[in-house]
Structure 1
């Protein structure tokens, strides 16, 4: 639905006030995402998509579900921006392939050793030098594979299912179990990677600011962020492979649109 059509469909009183109050939230999320996107992505496109997400949030928000409007709107806005980015995947197929190889290497090493896979071990497993491995991480910084929101496949599905009285209880519990497992996986990241994730996604610092906190270069922060996302995907692979049958067709459809 276009932004104009969506706006016309929302008849809630005070909509203009809601949009006006949260327009800054749209811009904040857009600029935060821009920090790890290539230069050909236009900030105006993200903001426009985010405004559509804000309108969707205003139309669908139910305060009885417990989440504040700003929390719910933030999820919708970010999801709308990601949908816009999905329309053109600028990342070469080779980058996706190498990213999958790294995640698989991490999973194999951690299954064998019972501890976090180290940079040098992953590089050796892949037959790469350490500098080549770091370059793979650097190249993949803007790849959608590493998006924390993408790991949750848009992030708002749990809220949607909880708000939908027709959603099967088992499916809702499974979604909640996934969220808990993801939280545990984040908590189990190496300290530096966990700190990068926290500063980026919770404190909403940009990569340069995180580098200043950690005392490392911005490019090193990019590598740590990419490595953290790969490690999370490797550790959550069992959940992704064992998705509920009802959720599989929709997820496959979304993935097919990204190829």
Structure 2
């Protein structure tokens, strides 16, 4: 992870920007946290089509950083780097989506596989195999693996995506002050964590390893490939299948998670 000063050490600068509206202070904050844009864009560039320029990712990311600096409440005691990273990530992915970087056919394949995991794992109450998924989709296992490889670039989700398709509440809205949680939030948070934990338990051992190394240890897919002695394309497949399983599990529990809030 990037070595940076905590926002607490920049308290005076934050105060100058937020309370006095000094533009030089805002520019100073942008310069201080600009390496976050490079860090996030470099991670997201892994597995993207070659026609997606890193300069475009950085451009989208800078807009996300500026948005984060404008909206961040420095007095709430939260870590700016974490908040900004999600904002930058969301801005990059939203920018790519607006450019129609993923063909509709690929998105449709992704949705079909996600729905297959959702239905079969609800039916069998366990992690289903590639053979079972292939049979459900009426394709060969080699065709299924090819589908997974094709949709690898769609398995990165934006923090600004709606939690539910029918409303505007986003994952970002869940990043609130720990000291300000209301009872409804605590209930939803409990069920969300419980559901996600159960979903992770149903991943295969290799899928869990990839998820852990990528999201918690923050290794790149190529670094994970070296650790697990597998090809980068195989790691990409494992990552994609893990995300599709998790999406299916979370979709299955939407009513439990949200309807009673």
TM-score relative to the length of structure 1: 0.77
Change (3 A) 1:189 1:73: same
Give the alignment's Cα RMSD to 1 decimal: 2.9
Say yes or no: does 1:238 pair with 2:252: yes
Say yes or no: does 1:214 pair with 2:228: yes
Q: How many residues align?
A: 232
Change (3 A) 1:158 1:242: same
Runs of 5+ consecutive residues of structure 2 not aligned to the other structure: 1-16, 163-169
Runs of 5+ consecutive residues of structure 1 not aligned to the other structure: 1-8, 248-259
Greater alpha carbon shift after TM alignment, 183-192 vs 132-141: 183-192
Match of 2:80 among 42, 60, 69: 69
Structure 1 residue 155 displacement after superposition: 4.0
Query: Secondary structure at the residue paired with 1:140?
Result: helix
Say yes or no: does 1:33 pair with 2:47: no
Counterparts of residues 192-207 of structure 1 (less than 5 Å)? 192-207=206-221
Instruction: Work out whether residues 79 and 156 of structure 1, in 8 Å CA contact, stay in contact via their aligned partners in 2.
Output: no
Query: Secondary structure at the residue paired with 2:153?
Result: coil
Match of 1:252 in 2: none
TM-score relative to the length of structure 2: 0.77
Match of 1:21 in 2: 32
Match of 1:137 in 2: 148
Counterparts of residues 1-259 of structure 1 (less than 5 Å)? 11-12=21-22, 14-143=25-154, 146-149=155-158, 153=162, 155-159=171-175, 172-173=185-186, 176-177=189-190, 179-181=192-194, 183-184=196-197, 185-240=199-254
Structure 1 residue 172 displacement after superposition: 4.1
Structure 1 residue 65 displacement after superposition: 3.2
Instruction: Work out whether residues 87 and 159 of structure 2, in 8 Å CA contact, stay in contact via their aligned partners in 1.
Output: no
Give distance in 2, aligned partners of 1:77 and 1:239.
28
Instruction: Work out whether residues 79 and 155 of structure 1, in 8 Å CA contact, stay in contact via their aligned partners in 2.
Output: no
Query: Secondary structure at the residue paired with 1:115?
Result: coil
Instruction: Work out whether residues 182 and 236 of structure 1, in 8 Å CA contact, stay in contact via their aligned partners in 2.
Output: yes
1:159-208 alpha-carbon deviations (Å, 9 max, x no partner): 3x669x9x9x5764566356524642335422211221222223222221
Structure 1 residue 67 displacement after superposition: 2.0
Greater alpha carbon shift after TM alignment, 48-57 vs 174-183: 174-183
Structure 1 residue 241 displacement after superposition: 6.0
Instruction: Work out whether residues 188 and 257 of structure 2, in 8 Å CA contact, stay in contact via their aligned partners in 1.
Output: no
Give distance in 1, aligned partners of 2:51 and 2:159.
20
Give distance in 1, aligned partners of 2:141 and 2:192.
33
Instruction: Work out whether residues 106 and 231 of structure 1, in 8 Å CA contact, stay in contact via their aligned partners in 2.
Output: yes
Greater alpha carbon shift after TM alignment, 87-96 vs 219-228: 87-96
